[in-house]
Amino acid sequence: MKLNAFGDVCLRTLMLLGARPDRQMTGRDIADAVGTPYNHVSKAILELKRRGALDVTRGRNGGARITEAGLALSIGQLLRDLDPQADIVDCTGQDSPNGRACPLLKGCRLRRSLARAREAFYAELDGTTVADLTGPGPSPVPVTMLPMPPLPAP
């Protein structure tokens, strides 16, 4: 299994903001801090706002801040929702250049086993929240060590 790029950007954004829930950051500051192009982060912010995980304000002093719902967000559920792939392997050939389905598709048991393994992967992450990854714990949160822009003057 491999996380899709969009899910990864969403998680980086959530962890960065979750490490400092009091902090509001602009999309550009987030992009710099998580090492991801601004347009990718911008889409992630919109998606996370739509889910109620971020409060986003526009304007000169605007930016994104994590919400209580964002801190409580299940990592497994988020990644499951954002994964456009129904299957681990392209059994039906819909993504292949020739569009041909696997000749073993009919009656293949491996396909069902892979689907269960995929669900088990997400289920393992269902009980982990953003707060679990960013709150007090036995090891420091790596994102808190990244350079952070200063808070705006009140």
Q: What is the rounded radius of gyration, in angstroms, for the C-alpha atoms of the chain? A: 19
Distance CA 112, CA 89 (A): 11
123 binds ligand SF4 (CB under 6 A): no
Distance CA 110, CA 104 (A): 10
115 binds ligand SF4 (CB under 6 A): no
Single out the residue of 3, 56, 69, 102 in contact with ligand SF4 (rule: CB under 6 A). 102
For residue 54, the cross-strand partners are 66
Only segment of 16-24, 33-41, 76-84, 98-106 that touches ligand SF4 (CB under 6 A): 98-106
- Closest to ligand SF4 by CB, 104 vs 120, is 104
Q: Under rule CB under 6 A, how many of the chain's residues touch ligand SF4?
A: 9
Closest CA to 25 of 142, 154, 152: 152
Residues 9, 44 contacting (CB under 8 angstroms): yes
Single out the residue of 1, 72, 86, 110 in contact with ligand SF4 (rule: CB under 6 A). 110
Q: Which residues bind ligand SF4 (CB under 6 A)?
A: 89, 91, 102, 104-105, 108, 110-111, 114
